Structure 1
Amino acid sequence: MFDLQFFVGAFVTMFVIMDPPGVIPLFLAYTNGRTLAERKRIAWQAAVTAFCLIVVFAVFGQAILGYLHVEVAAMQISGGLLLLLVALELLRGQTAPKTDEGMSSVNVALVPLGTPLLAGPGAIVATIVFAQQAEGHTGNIFALGLAIAAVHLVLWVFMRFSVSIIRVIKENGVELITRIAGLLLAALAVQLIINAVRALVS
């Protein structure tokens, strides 16, 4: 049977880790200069990319880490370092490489929005833990799948309607938000590394 308590626990945990409201400034920063249609496309592509990665780790996460002999703490540290690099790019205003036409030469919906910002080490580790708890219980497996889908739907909604903010704050406001987002993301990256080191020491 469907386990409501397990669903709520998984949904709330992943919502807090993936932080849909906190994605807004990062989304605006990485879609700076894009048209409204492009921002809408990037919003759903980023959500779908993150969803696919989370599902893969929910199903095969334990096997992948076991085969590669990778500890959870190692994934957290590597994810923290990747996020730190992204944060430094935001602080310097270098959100994406540009072509001669001024458009981004990479699909930011895949990297860094889809991963590691949305489907980051924290979300992946949480998914693997919940998958371990749900193993062998059909109701829990269904609840986990529904929680993952619900969180990514919420992520898409926040990114999709964040484009309306552009009309209020204008492009100069986005530049300011970009710097603030870079600072906050740098702090999050360092915290991920600290948590991993604490886990290894203990």
Structure 2
Amino acid sequence: MTAVAFDVSFFGSVFVSLLVILDPPGALPVFLGLTKSFKRQERLAVAARATTVAFGVLLTFALLGRQILEYLKISVPALQVSGGLLLLLIGLELLLGKEDDKAEVGRTHIALVPLAVPLFAGPGVIVTIMVAMQRAGTMGQQVSIIAALAASMLVVYLSMRYAGAIHRLLGEGGTTLVSRIAGLLCAAIAVQMMADGVVGFVHGAN
């Protein structure tokens, strides 16, 4: 039985690329804004669920992404525009302070939307992981990509795991301010995501 050779350089390049796109420090204000009224255990549960779901989604796209998009006849620009629209709605809620009016059922779902999808498992990360898998020429490189994905999601989890310390440092007023800034950042990310999608549509039509 042939051993699978782990490609360290491939792991490093994919790991760094994923961290840059995931931007765990940049996601912290959004996480704090969405969970500012949560207890510590609730916040930890949301962090664990969000990273687990995001990892599962990204792993699925890494292994079957091209087939899924082709079967559903969905283009990458369409994925970018739809993800951007979803993120824009969340950003506006944060910016206007409407997240406080969410029903209790909404508290259990924010780990799935918008944290897992589209904030962490967004179009940019999905495309990056799909392209990396296409570039992988050996089984060892494919294993390296999956390991890089797992490592990057662990960093995301740890950043949210210790977000409580940041919450205590900022206080209630500071966290509210951060949530408004997060709404603005979310909206900006969403607009950029949709703009990239539109550019992709235009290039695809030429």
TM-score (norm 2): 0.91
In the alignment, structure 1 residue 14 sits paired with structure 2 residue 15: no
Unaligned runs of 5+ in 1: none
Paired letter, 2:151: A
- Give the aligned partner of residue 84 of structure 2: 80
In the alignment, structure 1 residue 127 sits paired with structure 2 residue 167: no
Q: Percent identity?
A: 45
- Give the aligned partner of residue 142 of structure 2: 141
Q: 1:141 to 1:103 in 2, by over 3 A?
A: closer
For 1:151 and 1:89, the matched residues in 2 are separated by 28
For 1:185 and 1:98, the matched residues in 2 are separated by 18
- Give the aligned partner of residue 42 of structure 1: 46
- Give the aligned partner of residue 182 of structure 1: 183
- Give the aligned partner of residue 94 of structure 2: 90
Q: 1:105 to 1:188 in 2, by over 3 A?
A: closer
For 1:159 and 1:75, the matched residues in 2 are separated by 26
For 2:106 and 2:35, the matched residues in 1 are separated by 9
Aligned residues: 199
Unaligned runs of 5+ in 2: none
Alpha-carbon deviation of 1:4?
Answer: 1.9
TM-score (norm 1): 0.92
- Give the aligned partner of residue 33 of structure 1: 37
Deviation per residue, 1:96-147 (Å, 9 max, x gap): 6534xx785542111111111111111111111111112x511110110110
For 1:95 and 1:53, the matched residues in 2 are separated by 25
Q: Which has the higher helix share?
A: 2
Paired letter, 1:81: L
- Give the aligned partner of residue 169 of structure 2: 168
For 1:103 and 1:127, the matched residues in 2 are separated by 32
How much is the aligned-residue C-alpha RMSD, in angstroms? Answer: 1.6
The 8 Å contact of residues 96 and 104 in structure 1, kept in 2 or not, is answered as no
SS at match of 1:95: helix
Residue 111 of structure 1, aligned match among 107, 110, 113: 113
